[in-house]
Amino acid sequence: MTTKELNAAASGTFTLGGDIHINRLGFGAMRITGEGIWGEPKNPEQAKKVLRRAVELGVNFIDTADAYGPEVSERLIAEALYPYPKYLIIATKGGLTRSGPNAWAPVGRPEYLRQCVELSLRHLKVERIDLWQLHRIDPKVPVEESLGVIKELQQQGKIRHVGLSEVNADEIKQASKVLPIVSVQNLYNLGDRQHEKTLQYCEQQKLGFIPWFPVAAGKLARSGGPLDAAAKRHSATVAQLSLAWLLHHSPVMLPIPGTSSVDHLEENIASVNVQLSADEWKAIEEDGKGKA
């Protein structure tokens, strides 16, 4: 397979909120920051090269967050890709604070979320965020209060659509009473399907489901394991098979694998060309149950 054959468009398309048309395989921009998702990357130019290459390969949906760095990921996206092509959709998130590497804490106070949105607009160099997602629901703040200010900003034209992260169906329903929800971003992969019911709800409501940590790990992906064996039969990697399964598993699935390497990026995009029979997918799914 040559790189000329790589194109994220082969993953199929999905429509977010009725008016945003994206290729289903996107790019997650968390890994272009420093270790622990903290500070600058070791090689900023390489990070920007990855972003540009992703767009060249047909990626038109990039997911980031103000907490990645913090602010580093959003800034690098603007440095690499601004002025943005009209077809490129950049989603970001707000509502998690950072105190150091791998440290995250939710803050859902309205005044803080307003600041999150205003700073993301500045860092991304946009007048409107196409998809803004509440990074976590703050247990100390009613979601109605958190999303109330987001609704105001949406009415002001600063946000196009709104999504949630790490939520269940009841929380989506509760949030939807405040404003329309178009997407959900939850932990999900072949070996960790704890959010299967939430995925099913998203399918019923035609909400985009964005799985973070999309590549299966643990026992399922071990050398000689079922996923590894299937990957070798199809001259693919475990990561490619993991992403191909996500695309196969649900029409609302929008995987956003991230990387700081161009080679790894191209490997991920090549997952769109992995083809297995229905019986093979079924066997892998059965092996994957409870084997994260």
Helices (H) and strands (E) in the chain, counts: 10, 11
Residue 68 falls in the annotated catalytic set: yes
Give the residue from 97, 125, 116, 204 showing the smallest Cα distance to 162. Answer: 116
Catalytic residue, from 68, 84, 188, 201: name it: 68
Geometric angle at alpha carbon 245, from 244 and 248, rounded to 5°? 90
d(CA 5, CA 284): 26
Helix or strand (DSSP H, E) at 210: strand 208-212
Give the residue from 171, 126, 176, 178 showing the smallest Cα distance to 152. Answer: 178
- Identify whether the C-beta of residue 3 lies closer than 8 Å to the C-beta of residue 63: no
Give catalytic residues, as residue numbers: 68
